């Protein structure tokens, strides 16, 4: 739950790159998906940035030069699909969105790990698949996005991919990358 996350990791007093409910509707229409409510609430509360300077939620409202969310999503999915076709089998068993039950990226880490939702059924129950960016292994977590982040920040997440969280802080995008805030869309 978002409340648990905010108790563990204080959100910024003025989050940047957030969207209105209408903005979220437009993003969801663009992809033909209804994103999980906890994820939308998390981005509304924290904006663009990085949990513990390591875990970076993909944010459709990030407006900086050289970044376009839809293109970034497309590139991640195309890369996964290319690898899946080159290395068929148990290492890459998932299809990609928009195929039925396909993966849709939600976060990346500074180690190159990628978090995906497996778009199976109702979005509130989508499991999160974490792919190791270096060893082609994955883990499945049946947790909401905010619950997964909270557990990782607390050191309670059972994972062989992610390192322990060094500290439960959120760093705004502007502070991570030393850029000025270009404002909301």
pLDDT at 2 over 80: yes
Q: What is the CATH number of domain 2-173?
A: 3.40.1580.10
Gap between the Cα atoms of 8 and 6, Å rounded: 5
**Arithmetic mean of pLDDT, 90-103:** 88
Which are the contacts of 87, defined by CB distance < 8 A and separation ≥ 6?
136
Gap between the Cα atoms of 73 and 86, Å rounded: 20
DSSP 96: B
- Alpha helix (H) ranges present in the chain? 2-8, 21-31, 37-46, 69-86, 145-154, 173-177
Q: Is 79 helix (H, G, I), strand (E, B) or coil?
A: helix
179: confidence class by pLDDT, cuts 50, 70, 90: low
62: confidence class by pLDDT, cuts 50, 70, 90: confident
**Arithmetic mean of pLDDT, 84-109:** 88
Which residue did the predictor score with more confidence, 33 or 91?
Answer: 33
pLDDT at 178 over 90: no
Domain boundaries, the chain: 2-173
Gap between the Cα atoms of 94 and 6, Å rounded: 32
Gap between the Cα atoms of 34 and 106, Å rounded: 13
* pLDDT at residue number 31: 92
pLDDT at 183 over 60: no
pTM across the whole model: 0.89
């Amino acid at each position: 739950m978002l409340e648990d996350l905010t108790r563990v990791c204080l959100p910024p007093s003025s989050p940047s790159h957030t969207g209105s409910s209408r903005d979220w509707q437009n993003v969801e229409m663009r992809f033909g998906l209804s994103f999980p409510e906890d994820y939308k609430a998390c981005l509304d509360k924290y904006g663009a940035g990085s949990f513990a300077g390591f875990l970076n939620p993909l944010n459709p409202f990030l407006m900086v030069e050289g970044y376009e969310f839809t293109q970034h999503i497309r590139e991640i999915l195309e890369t996964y699909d290319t690898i899946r076709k080159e290395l068929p089998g148990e290492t890459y068993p998932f299809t990609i969105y928009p195929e039925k039950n396909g993966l849709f990226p939600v976060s990346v880490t500074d180690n190159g790990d990628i978090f995906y939702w497996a778009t199976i059924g109702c979005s509130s129950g989508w499991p999160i698949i974490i792919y190791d960016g270096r060893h082609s292994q994955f883990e499945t977590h049946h947790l909401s996005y905010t619950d997964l982040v909270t557990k990782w920040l607390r050191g309670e997440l059972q994972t062989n991919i992610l390192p322990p969280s060094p500290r439960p802080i959120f760093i705004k995008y502007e502070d991570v990358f030393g850029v000025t805030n270009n404002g909301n869309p």
